């Protein structure tokens, strides 16, 4: 019995992509916290609603990721990094996975809707973008799939902010832009690291279709686009602006170094690690400077 429970938990972790869920929860939390900091609302009067939206948004994300697994089972069988998913191992039937994805998505949207219609709209935009426009339409056909998929991640701070107030405010919009742009170099680094797998699965990732050099130019361009953004949210303080600018310039330098290296895999691994630390540090810093 214990082994069965352990296997079930393992299957759910791969089905819901546990790391991705955690990474998406942090911007929701950050968006909510910033809204508290920049409005007249207090943490006490908003905390209960926020918990409902955090649970709801996590369910929506889990539902979208589950439907991604259901739809992509054919290419997941080819790619080594996805072969432990229960849709590939056969530990869960495809019909069960489809049902789980739909049910989680609906319950999540309902949770959010009863707290904030605006948050529910952002969550729905993220779900539709990821499931329909990314997974089912663009992922296998166009290199712009990365840009399309990044929209779904970028709505998360808007979901959190809208629990408290209207998200048409410079701070959440810029935070969403940061998250949107971040995903391009982050995903390109993954695509280079897993080049052979994406090529075997015939997924239209930029390095596979256009090569490493073009991917490095795109990476450098998107990182450069991050540099001006902190100056649009000086409300967070000059310490945040200075530190985030240093972080962005460091990432840009690392990106430029990529044009002169021979070991593309080693460079991509470094870019990937930097991007993971970048996301964590940037969003935690936004919370800390507003405490």
Whole-model pTM: value is 0.93
Please report the pLDDT score of residue 13 as a whole number.
79
pLDDT along the chain (291 residues), means of 10: 68 77 89 93 85 95 95 91 87 93 97 96 97 96 96 96 94 97 97 95 96 98 98 96 98 98 96 96 96 87
pLDDT value for 15 = 81
CB 129 within 8 A of CB 148: yes
Map out the domains of the chain as residue ranges: 2-288
Name the one residue in this structure whose structure tokens are 């800390």.
288
- CA 179 to each of CA 47, 50, 51, 230, 257: distance values in angstroms, whole numbers, following the listed order: 24, 20, 22, 12, 23
Token readout for 116 is 């904030």
What is residue 84's predicted lDDT score, i.e. its pLDDT? 85
Decide: helix, strand or coil at residue 205: coil
Task: State residue 10's pLDDT score.
Answer: 79
Q: In angstroms, what CA-CA distances link 52 with 29, 40, 47, 153, 230?
A: 12, 21, 9, 19, 30
Pick one of 3.30.9.10, 1.10.3370.10, 1.10.357.140, 3.40.50.2000 as the CATH number of 2-288. Answer: 1.10.357.140
């Amino acid at each position: 019995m214990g082994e069965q429970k352990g296997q079930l938990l393992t299957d759910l972790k791969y089905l819901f992509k546990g790391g991705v869920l955690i990474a998406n929860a942090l911007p929701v939390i950050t968006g909510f916290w910033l809204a508290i900091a920049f409005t007249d609302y207090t943490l006490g009067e908003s905390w209960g609603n926020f918990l409902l939206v955090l649970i709801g948004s996590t369910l929506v994300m889990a539902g979208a990721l589950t439907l991604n697994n259901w739809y992509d089972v054919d290419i997941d069988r080819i790619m080594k990094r996805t072969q432990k998913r229960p849709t590939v191992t056969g530990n869960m039937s495809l019909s069960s996975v489809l049902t789980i994805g739909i049910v989680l998505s609906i319950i999540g949207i309902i949770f959010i809707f009863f707290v904030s219609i605006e948050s529910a709209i952002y969550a729905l935009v993220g779900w539709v973008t990821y499931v329909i426009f990314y997974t089912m339409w663009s992922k296998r056909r166009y290199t712009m799939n990365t840009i399309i998929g990044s929209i779904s991640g970028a709505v998360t701070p808007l979901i959190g902010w809208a629990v408290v107030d209207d998200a048409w405010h410079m701070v959440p919009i810029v935070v969403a832009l940061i998250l949107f742009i971040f995903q391009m170099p982050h995903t390109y680094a993954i695509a280079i690291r897993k080049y052979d797998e994406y090529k075997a699965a015939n997924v239209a990732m930029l390095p596979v279709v256009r090569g490493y050099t073009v991917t490095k130019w795109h990476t450098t361009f998107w990182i450069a686009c991050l540099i001006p953004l902190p100056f649009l949210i000086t409300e967070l303080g000059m310490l945040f602006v200075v530190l985030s600018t240093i972080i962005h310039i460091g990432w840009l330098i690392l990106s430029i170094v990529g044009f002169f290296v021979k070991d593309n895999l080693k460079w991509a691994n470094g870019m990937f690690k930097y991007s993971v630390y970048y996301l964590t540090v940037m969003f935690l810093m936004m919370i800390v400077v507003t405490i």
